[in-house]
């Protein structure tokens, strides 16, 4: 009714009032004889009608019409629409209220748009795969990480029922269990690619609406490959340590038992005692190396940085290494520039040089040579430890820095090696933000090169 009234144009009202005037004229003509007077009266009345109409139209109908138009625009989602009513009183207030409503709707819609943009940015960029399934099992969304794990494109998944496009049994079970039990469910999956293997953890979480009815499920895919690798490394490490300890402990126990049986010649007893001593030294070395590695790996570990002369530091350790070289009939030469100052952890740098020189001597046959050379290169120091020893074949070379990796187990054991020396060296050098290189030829010799900045950190 209202709508019909306000929607009519002015001309309808003008024609309407003309019609009313004619009817009034017809009724009055019964009583008034003089046509001129009647006509004048009708004219006056019509003009009065028109003025009234114009007033009402401008004051009420036009603004309300405009308000209706504006509300319609708002309903359609055009939140920029505004009413321009200047009339005072209630109509003007209505206009202002509609404008205020439009402003807050527009703010709300901007906020909602921002929220949904933020949400989709988060979903797209999280480091886990994500799939959204509705209560009928149709896929509504897959994110970038999911596509990078499973391949293909969004259009190959969205709009399909999950079991048509997600063929893996483990994924289907996760979705089914999540819907069935209406709580979070977890499964693991090993995804074989052409080049590698990824370990995935699949977690399904149900989505409920405000009336607690199940509306769908979010399926997340976490890539736990690195974590699995670390776990495997940790297991290997524990197994290796136990194995390394087992041999000397068995020997010590065996020889001690034999000694306890008594009735041995003095020199046999001494022989047994020597073995026990050597094996204890081996255990001690192993424990010391393990402690060193654990210290280096500890989160709170910090280098004890100081500025010192590299030559002085190396001169401190050379005498005992020269002894070792002499025992092995290997000649050792050192060439270190004077006044070469570096800022580093002195004790740790000494440890690096001791480990590398000990290896060079141990893996060099009688009459061989070991050279320690230091080069001063402006901002950098390069330390070369070169030997004329047995060398390392290219097949073993990439692995020698791994813990417990040895080319020849028996030889390493014979020299008192723990298999951890190079792992410690690499760790120390890298903590100093330096690098270590190795170059070797079987039966010719090996050169280790360490590049250190003169001002670590
Ligand atoms: N200078 C070298 N010449 C030949 N082989 C070496 C040399 N340095 C290290 N290696 C090889 O690398 C392995 C690992 O070295 P390292 O970690 O110091 O353990 P180890 O306790 O066995 O010496 C050694 O067992 C040896 O096979
Ligand atoms: Mg060693």
Question: For residue range 361-396, what is the model confidence (pLDDT) as tens digits?
Answer: 999 999 999 999 999 998 999 999 999 999 999 999
* pLDDT for residue 7: 59
CATH number of 305-453: 3.30.565.10
Residue 421 CB less than 6 A away from ligand 1: yes
Query: What is the pLDDT confidence band of residue 6, given thresholds at 50, 70 and 90?
Result: low
Residue 13 CB less than 6 A away from ligand 1: no
Ligand 1 atom at minimal distance to the Cα of residue 412: 22
Distance from Cα 422 to the centre of ligand 1, integer Å? 7
Tell me the pairing of strands 380-387 and 369-377: antiparallel
Top CATH class, 126-223: alpha beta
Residue 406 CB less than 6 A away from ligand 1: yes
Residue 368 CB less than 6 A away from ligand 1: no
Using alpha carbons only, what angle is made at residue 291 by residues 288 and 294, rounded to the nearest 5 degrees? 155
Q: What is the pLDDT of residues 23-33, one digit of tens each?
A: 888 888 888 88
Measured between alpha carbons, how far is 178 from 184 in angstroms, rounded to an integer? 6
Residue 438 CB less than 6 A away from ligand 1: no
Of 93-102, 214-223, 246-255, 292-301, the range with the lowest mean pLDDT is 93-102
Top CATH class, 228-297: mainly alpha
Q: Which stretches does DSSP call E strand in 121-175?
A: 129-134, 139-142
Query: What is the pLDDT confidence band of residue 334, given thresholds at 50, 70 and 90?
Result: very high
Distance from Cα 400 to the centre of ligand 1, integer Å? 7
Nearest to 83 by CA among 94, 99, 97, 72: 99
Q: What is the pTM of this model?
A: 0.68
Measured between alpha carbons, how far is 22 from 218 in angstroms, rounded to an integer? 74
Q: Where are the domains of the chain?
A: 2-110, 126-223, 228-297, 305-453
Sheet holding 129-134, edge to edge: 139-142, 129-134, 214-223, 197-208, 185-192
* pLDDT for residue 32: 82
Q: Half-sphere exposure (CA, 13 Å, Cβ side) for 218?
A: 10
Q: Which DSSP category does 138 fall into?
A: B
Under the phi-then-psi rule, with left for phi > 0, alpha for psi from -120 to 50, and beta for the rest, what region is 375? beta
Nearest to 206 by CA among 179, 239, 172, 224: 179
């Amino acid at each position: 009714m209202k709508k019909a009234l306000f929607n009519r144009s002015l001309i309808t009202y003008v024609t309407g009032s003309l019609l009313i005037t004619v009817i009034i004229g017809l009724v009055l003509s019964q009583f008034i004889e003089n046509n001129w007077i009647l006509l004048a009266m009708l004219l006056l009345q019509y003009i009065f009608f028109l003025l009234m109409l114009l007033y009402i139209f401008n004051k009420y109908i036009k603004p309300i019409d405009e308000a209706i138009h504006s509300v319609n625009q708002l309903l359609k989602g055009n939140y920029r629409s505004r009413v321009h009513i200047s009339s005072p009183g209630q109509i003007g207030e209505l206009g202002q209220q509609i404008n205020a409503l439009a402003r807050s709707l527009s703010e709300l819609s901007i906020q909602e748009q921002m929220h949904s943009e933020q949400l989709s940015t988060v979903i797209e960029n999280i480091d886990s795969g994500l799939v959204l399934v509705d209560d009928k099992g149709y896929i509504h969304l897959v994110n970038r990480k999911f596509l990078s794990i499973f391949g293909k494109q969004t259009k190959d998944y969205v709009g399909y029922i999950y079991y048509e496009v997600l063929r893996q049994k483990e994924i289907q079970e996760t979705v089914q269990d999540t819907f069935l039990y209406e709580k979070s469910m977890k499964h693991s999956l090993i995804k074989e690619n052409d080049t590698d293997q990824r370990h995935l953890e699949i977690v399904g979480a149900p989505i409920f609406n405000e009336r607690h009815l199940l509306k769908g499920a979010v399926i997340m895919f976490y890539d736990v490959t690195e974590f699995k690798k670390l776990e495997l490394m940790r297991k290997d490490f524990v197994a290796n340590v136990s194995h390394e300890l087992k041999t000397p402990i068995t020997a010590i126990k065996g020889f001690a038992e034999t000694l306890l049986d008594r009735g041995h010649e003095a020199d046999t007893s001494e022989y047994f005692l020597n073995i026990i001593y050597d094996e204890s030294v081996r255990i001690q070395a192993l424990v010391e190396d393990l402690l060193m590695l654990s210290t280096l790996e500890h989160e709170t570990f910090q280098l004890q940085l100081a500025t010192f002369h590299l030559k002085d530091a190396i001169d401190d350790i050379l005498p005992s290494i020269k002894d070792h070289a002499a025992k092995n009939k290997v000649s050792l030469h050192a060439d270190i520039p004077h006044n070469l100052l570096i800022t580093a952890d002195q004790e740790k740098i000494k440890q690096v040089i001791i480990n590398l020189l000990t290896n060079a001597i141990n893996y060099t046959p009688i009459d061989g040579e070991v050279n320690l050379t230091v080069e001063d290169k402006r901002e950098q120091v390069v330390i070369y430890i070169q030997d004329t020893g047995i060398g390392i074949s290219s097949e073993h070379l990439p692995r020698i820095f791994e813990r417990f990796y040895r080319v020849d187990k028996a030889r390493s054991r014979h020299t008192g090696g723990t298999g951890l020396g190079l792992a410690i060296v690499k760790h120390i050098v890298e903590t100093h933000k330096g690098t270590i290189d190795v170059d070797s030829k079987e039966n010719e010799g090996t050169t280790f090169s360490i590049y250190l900045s003169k001002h670590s950190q």
